[in-house]
Amino acid sequence: MMKQLLGATAAIALMSSPAFAESIKIGFVTTLTTGAAIIGVDQRKAVDLAVEHIGGKMGALDVEIVYEDDEFNPQKGKQKTEKLVKADDVDIVAGYIWSHVLLASAPVVLNADKILISANAGPSPLAGKNCNANFFNVSWQNDQTPMALGEVLNQRGIDSLYVIAPNYAAGKDMVAGVERTFKGNVVGKDMTTWPTQIDWSAEFTKVKAAKPGAVFTFYPGKHGPAFLKQYAQAGLSDVPLYSVYTLDSLSLPRLQQAKMDGVLGTTMTQFWSPDIDNAQNKRFVDDFKAKHGSYPSFYAAQAYDSIFLIKSAVEATGGKVGDIDAMRAALKKADFASVRGDFRFGNNHFPIQNFYSREVVADADGKWTTKLSGVALKDHQDVYAKDCKM
């Protein structure tokens, strides 16, 4: 009985399989549980919105998205990627917030000769020596944002800087990035124990004694709001604060709830901002806000872009998703309206794009958001591209 049933199901599956040719299946790996879920949920909202905006179609193909949760864990991320590639047999794998998850998962996709699109993580190996023809990054390389910040400090004539950042790989990279472009003096540097240290009273007292022209910091996740609150409480509000990846649309509502007015007016750098003036971005931000009541984060903007990038390639190849060479060539053109405005892919398939300085402001409704305040780097390519032999 059981065997017959199985046989019948298999027959039905076989019969219906031609129908799958009419659709494109995209696997999207992000973080939907753990404390970091807030980022993944934001990305999922953006992907859903993008699919809605394209009417669920790429050319003649129906779009099918399979979400997977990496649980903020490289091992889990790799398992889920294997499931997408082998069991679901998706056409394209996209997503990935975390560099370590992406580095663990990338070989699974690339060895199966499928297209992989990162909607956030931009680790240096994949930009440099280990670049791959099937890998595209629709966000940025990790070093670019702090390099842009160093340039903003130069533009503003700041000659002394105090650095406080966590003592782990990304923290060191961010500090190195700023130091690469900043021309003034670093008068003090504290690398704090990560992730256990969540109190900076000793460091702030040192800042007060050093009297720097500005403070640079990088604290992602739950550390960011805590750092900013303590910074204001320590009476340092007269020392301008510059940050990368510390303040975003996900943390600002919570800081506003806590009435952290010291955050207003602080500067950061980014490749995108909700107020970049183009039709695509306006539609994205307005509809996202209407639907969810909050500003989209840059994570969401990248996820939104990744869907439109895929759509451009599907349409250019006339829906021949299986033709990997044609897909690759079409993706490489980045021929779509990005929410950040125009950009192009470099030899390593990372974007060559502008980086902007943004300031935290209250919008017309009093809601905290970020506003463009200038161009920090123009048409910038990451420094690892030269190590990529493509």
Partner 1 sequence: MDLTFFAEQLLNGVQLGILLFLLAAGLTLVFGIMDLVNLAHGSIYMVGAFIAATLTLWTDSFIIGLLLALPLTLAFGMVLEIVALRTLYARGHMDQVLATFGLILFLNELVRVIWGPAGLAIPLPAFLDGSISLPLGIVYPTYRMFIILIGIAVAVGLYWLVAKTRLGMLIRAGASNRTMVGALGVNVRLLFTAVFGLGAMLAGLGGMLIAPINQAQIGMGEDILILAFVVIVIGGIGSIRGAFIAALLAGVIDTMGRAFLDVALLTFLQANAAETAGPALSSMLIYILMAAILFFRPQGLFPPRGG
CA atoms within 13 A on the CB side of 24: 30
Other beta carbons within 10 Å of 17: 9
195/374 with CB nearer partner 1: 195
Which of the ranges 138-146, 200-208, 271-279, 325-333 carries the binding residues for partner 1, by CB under 8 A? 200-208
Q: Quick one: tokens of 206?
A: 């040192």
Member of 203, 248, 305, 382 binding partner 1 (CB under 8 A): 203
User: Kind of pairing, strands 351-362 and 267-270?
Assistant: antiparallel
Q: Does 189 bind partner 1 (CB under 8 A)?
A: yes
Q: To the nearest whole angstrom, how small is the minimum distance from the Cβ of residue 318 to partner 1?
A: 43
230/373 with CB nearer partner 1: 230
Which of the ranges 56-64, 96-104, 116-124, 201-209 carries the binding residues for partner 1, by CB under 8 A? 201-209
Q: To the nearest whole angstrom, how small is the minimum distance from the Cβ of residue 153 to partner 1?
A: 20
What whole-number distance in Å separates Cα of residue 22 and Cα of residue 17?
10
Cβ pair 83, 68 in contact under 8 A: yes
202/329 with CB nearer partner 1: 202
Contacting partner 1 within 152-181 (CB under 8 A): 167
Contacting partner 1 within 211-250 (CB under 8 A): 222, 225-226, 229-230, 233-235
111/185 with CB nearer partner 1: 185
SS3 106: helix
DSSP for 271-320 reads S--TT--SHHHHHHHHHHHHHHSSPPPHHHHHHHHHHHHHHHHHHHTTT-
Pattern 38-77, binding to partner 1, x per CB under 8 A? x---------------------------------------
Helices (H), the chain: 2-20, 37-53, 74-82, 99-111, 124-127, 144-155, 169-181, 201-210, 223-233, 252-257, 279-292, 298-316, 324-332
Q: To the nearest whole angstrom, how small is the minimum distance from the Cβ of residue 257 to partner 1?
A: 5
Q: Return the closest-CA partner of residue 298 out of 307, 285, 279, 311.
A: 285
258/390 with CB nearer partner 1: 258
Member of 52, 199, 286, 323 binding partner 1 (CB under 8 A): 199
168/379 with CB nearer partner 1: 168
CA atoms within 13 A on the CB side of 327: 22
Which of the ranges 56-64, 184-192, 296-304, 346-354 carries the binding residues for partner 1, by CB under 8 A? 184-192
How big is the site for partner 1, counted in residues (CB under 8 A)? 36
Cβ pair 308, 336 in contact under 8 A: yes
57/208 with CB nearer partner 1: 208
Q: 51-57, long-range: CB within 8 Å, 24+ apart, which pairs?
A: 51/307, 53/283, 53/284, 53/287, 54/307, 54/308, 54/311
Q: To the nearest whole angstrom, how small is the minimum distance from the Cβ of residue 32 to partner 1?
A: 10
Q: Does 192 bind partner 1 (CB under 8 A)?
A: yes
Q: Quick one: tokens of 114?
A: 């499928």
What whole-number distance in Å separates Cα of residue 145 and Cα of residue 244?
7
Member of 7, 35, 318, 322 binding partner 1 (CB under 8 A): 35
Q: Does 196 bind partner 1 (CB under 8 A)?
A: yes
Q: Is the four-CA dihedral 52, 58, 63, 66 of positive or negative sign?
A: negative
Cβ pair 34, 69 in contact under 8 A: no
Q: Does 293 bind partner 1 (CB under 8 A)?
A: no
Torsion of CA 273, 298, 147, 130, to 10 degrees: -140
SS3 146: helix
Member of 7, 195, 318, 374 binding partner 1 (CB under 8 A): 195
Pattern 257-286, binding to partner 1, x per CB under 8 A? xxxx--------------------------
Q: Does 83 bind partner 1 (CB under 8 A)?
A: no
Residue carrying the six token digits 């998706």: 90
Q: Does 320 bind partner 1 (CB under 8 A)?
A: no
In the complex, the residues that contact partner 1 under the rule CB under 8 A are 34-35, 37-38, 167, 189-193, 195-199, 201-203, 205-206, 208-209, 222, 225-226, 229-230, 233-235, 254-255, 257-260
